Amino acid sequence: MSRHLARPAALAASAALLAGGWLTAAAPSAGAAPAKYSQAAAEQQLKRAGITWVSSGRCSDRKSSRCTSFEQINKSTVAGVIDFKKASRCAVTLTAGTERGHAGGTYSHWHGYKVDIKPTSCVNSYVTHRFRYIGERHGDHAKQYKSPSGNVYAREGSHWDVTYYRGTR
């Protein structure tokens, strides 16, 4: 059978399977929202990976800037933090998650794309030696480093402000 005849035949067969329920269309929609975790589910994943967190208010209320919340954090963000811990072999402590009190925008803490990581000599060394320096961030001049997977680690005064784009780009 020639290539010109095989293609329409394959499309017709696929259409028949789809119509008959034997084949399903699995293409994600372009505007699909990222999968989210509840506070408890995110805590469970982080604890299992050996990741700790601190909260100045000793709370997890998403509506309070004194708390460290993981409510509505993207599953890909949690996976990114876990991947970072595994790759770096550093102790990782989160100091912020999805709680109020951070800058807005699409890829923000509130929307589940960002966490803050406590700087340590291990974390600092891993980020600055393994990731590509991409310049200072406009506005606050935080030095930024980009991981091979496209995540951005910005060194703010008291922490690493990390944006996990994985799953969105």
pLDDT score recorded for residue 75: 96
| Residue 91 predicted with pLDDT over 90 | yes
What is the value of pTM for the model shown? 0.78
Q: What pLDDT was estimated at residue 104?
A: 75
Return mean pLDDT, the chain: 84
Residue 167 pLDDT grade (very low, low, confident, very high; cuts 50, 70, 90): low
In this structure, which long-range contacts are made by residues 158-162, counting pairs with CB atoms below 8 Å and at least 24 apart in sequence?
158/95, 158/119, 159/95, 159/96, 159/116, 159/117, 159/118, 159/119, 160/116, 160/117, 160/118, 160/119, 160/123, 160/127, 161/114, 161/116, 162/80, 162/81, 162/84, 162/114, 162/115, 162/116, 162/117
Does 14 have pLDDT greater than 80?
no
| Average pLDDT estimate for 9-20 | 42
Of residues 44 and 168, which shows the higher confidence score? 44
pLDDT at 15 over 80: no
